[in-house]
C-alpha cells in the first residue's frame, strides 16, 4: 500500500505542477533575476504548492489514522500559507519566522511522540533530561531544518534533489523499524518531490519558491524526529548526518558571517553551490556533486545506525575529516582558511 501511495503522489505531482506553473504566472508569483541569483530570466515560483497538493491527496487517501495525523496536517498547511504569501508578496524575515514558530508549536504541543525529552549519555547508564526545555529544543530543531532546506534552494533541482535523498533514507530506515506513519508520509513526500523535480531540474521550468523549500524542510524535520527519536544519543544524531549538507551549509554560513561581521540574515554568494560554480563546475555538475555528497551522508547514517559504539565514532571521525576538507577545498568559510590543505602542501614542498 505504501508503494502505491508513492506512485500516486508522483503521478499527481507530474500532472499538477504544470497547472501550478500557470497559476504562478497568472498571480505574479515570479522570481526576478538579480546580482545574487544564478538564473537570468523571469521564472514562475510557487512550485512547492504542487508538492503540497500531491502529498495532501495521498495523505487523505492512504495515510492510516494516527494521533499525529491532524497536527502534522495543520502545521504543514500553515507553513504552506506562509510560503505562498512570501512567494507572492515577499514577507519580512520576522513574519516568516512567526509562521514557522506557530507551525512547529502546533506539531509539538498538539502531536504525540515527537518531543525530544532526553538523550542517553555515552559510556554511562545515565540520561540527560531536557525537562521544561524539551518542547523548545524540539521546536528549534524543526525551525532550524526548515530554514536549512530553504538556504540551499539556490540552483535548479538542488533543494528538491537533496530533500528527495533525505526522504528516501528516512523512509527506508523507517521501514526497517516498522514506523508506519513515517513510512507512508516519507514515501508520499518522496513521490511528490520527484514528480516536481522533473520540471525543476536544470534547466528548470518552475521554481519551488519558499512554498516548497519551507514545506520540505518542515516535513523532513518532523519525520526525522518521529522516525529517529528513540532516546539514545546516537539515534538522535542519525537525522543530523542524513541532513549533513543543508545543516553544514547553514552552520558555515553563520560562521562566515560572524567572521566577516555581517548580520546573520545578510544574503551572500558563498554557499556550497556558489563556491562549486566558482571552481568551474557547470550548473548541472554542481547539483550532481551535491547530490553525491548528500547520498554519502545518507549512506554514512545507515552505517552509523548499525555500527558498534566504536564503529560509530569512526564513522563520525571520517565524516568530520571529509567535511573539513570540503570546507577548505570550496572556501565555505573563506578562501584563506585551509589549515589541513596547507599542511599537506607544506609537507609536500619539504620533500
Binding residues for Mg(2+): 150, 210
C-beta of residue 323 within 8 angstroms of C-beta of residue 244: yes
What radius of gyration do the chain's Cα atoms show?
20
The single-letter DSSP state of residue 194 is H
Exposure string (b/e) for 68-86, b if CB count within 10 Å is 16 or more? bbebbbbbbebbbebbbbb
- What is residue 127's three-state secondary structure? strand
- Residue 90 in grid coordinates: 515577499
In terms of Cα–Cα distance, which of 239, 350, 225 is closest to 297? 239
- Residue 126 in grid coordinates: 545515565
C-beta of residue 272 within 8 angstroms of C-beta of residue 290: yes
Please enumerate, by residue number, every residue annotated as part of a binding site: 150, 210
Beta strands in the chain (DSSP E): 30-31, 43-44, 118-120, 127-129
In terms of Cα–Cα distance, which of 60, 21, 1, 54 is closest to 216? 54
Q: Which residue has the cell 525530544?
A: 116
Q: Which residue has the cell 521550468?
A: 205
Task: For residue 106, give the H/E element and its range.
Answer: helix 93-110
Q: Which residues contact 213 (CB under 8 A, 6 or more apart)?
A: 48, 83, 149, 150, 153, 159
Q: How many residues does the chain have?
A: 351
Nearest 5°: phi and psi at 333? -90, -40
- What is residue 120's three-state secondary structure? strand
- What is residue 33's three-state secondary structure? coil
CA distance 207 to 43: 7
Amino acid at each position: 500500500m505504501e508503494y502505491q501511495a508513492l506512485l500516486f503522489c508522483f503521478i499527481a505531482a507530474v500532472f499538477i505542477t504544470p497547472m501550478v506553473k500557470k497559476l504562478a504566472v497568472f498571480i505574479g508569483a515570479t522570481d526576478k533575476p538579480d546580482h545574487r541569483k544564478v538564473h537570468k530570466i523571469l521564472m514562475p515560483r510557487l512550485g512547492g504548492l504542487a508538492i503540497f497538493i500531491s502529498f495532501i491527496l495521498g495523505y487523505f487517501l492512504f495515510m492510516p489514522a494516527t494521533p499525529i495525523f491532524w497536527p502534522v496536517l495543520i502545521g504543514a498547511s500553515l507553513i504552506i500559507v506562509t510560503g505562498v504569501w512570501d512567494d507572492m508578496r515577499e514577507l519580512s524575515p520576522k513574519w516568516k519566522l512567526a509562521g514557522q514558530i506557530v507551525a512547529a508549536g502546533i506539531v509539538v504541543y498538539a502531536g504525540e511522540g515527537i518531543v525530544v525529552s532526553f538523550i542517553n549519555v555515552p559510556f554511562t547508564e545515565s540520561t540527560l533530561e531536557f525537562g521544561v526545555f524539551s518542547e523548545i529544543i524540539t521546536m528549534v530543531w524543526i525551525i532550524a531544518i526548515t530554514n536549512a532546506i530553504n538556504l540551499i534552494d539556490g540552483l535548479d533541482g538542488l533543494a528538491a534533489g537533496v530533500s528527495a535523498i533525505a526522504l528516501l533514507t528516512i523512509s527506508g530506515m523507517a521501514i526497517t523499524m516498522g514506523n508506519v506513519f513515517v513510512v507512508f508520509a516519507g514515501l508520499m513526500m518522496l513521490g511528490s518531490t520527484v514528480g516536481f523535480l522533473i520540471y525543476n531540474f536544470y534547466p528548470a521550468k518552475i521554481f519551488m519558491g519558499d512554498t516548497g523549500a519551507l514545506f520540505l524542510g518542515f516535513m523532513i524535520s518532523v519525520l526525522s524526529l518521529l522516525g529517529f527519536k528513540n532516546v539514545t544519543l546516537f539515534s538522535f544524531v542519525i537525522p543530523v548526518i542524513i541532513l549533513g549538507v543543508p545543516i553544514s551549509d547553514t552552520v558555515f554560513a553563520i560562521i562566515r558571517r560572524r567572521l566577516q561581521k555581517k548580520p546573520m540574515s545578510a544574503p551572500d554568494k558563498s554557499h556550497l553551490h556558489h563556491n562549486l560554480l566558482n571552481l568551474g563546475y557547470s550548473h548541472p555538475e554542481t547539483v550532481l556533486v551535491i547530490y553525491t555528497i548528500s547520498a554519502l551522508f545518507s549512506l554514512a547514517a545507515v552505517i552509523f545506525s548499525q555500527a558498534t559504539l566504536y564503529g560509530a565514532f569512526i564513522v563520525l571521525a571520517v565524516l568530520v575529516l571529509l567535511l573539513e576538507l570540503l570546507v577548505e577545498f570550496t572556501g565555505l568559510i573563506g578562501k584563506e582558511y585551509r589549515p589541513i590543505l596547507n599542511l599537506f602542501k607544506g609537507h609536500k614542498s619539504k620533500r
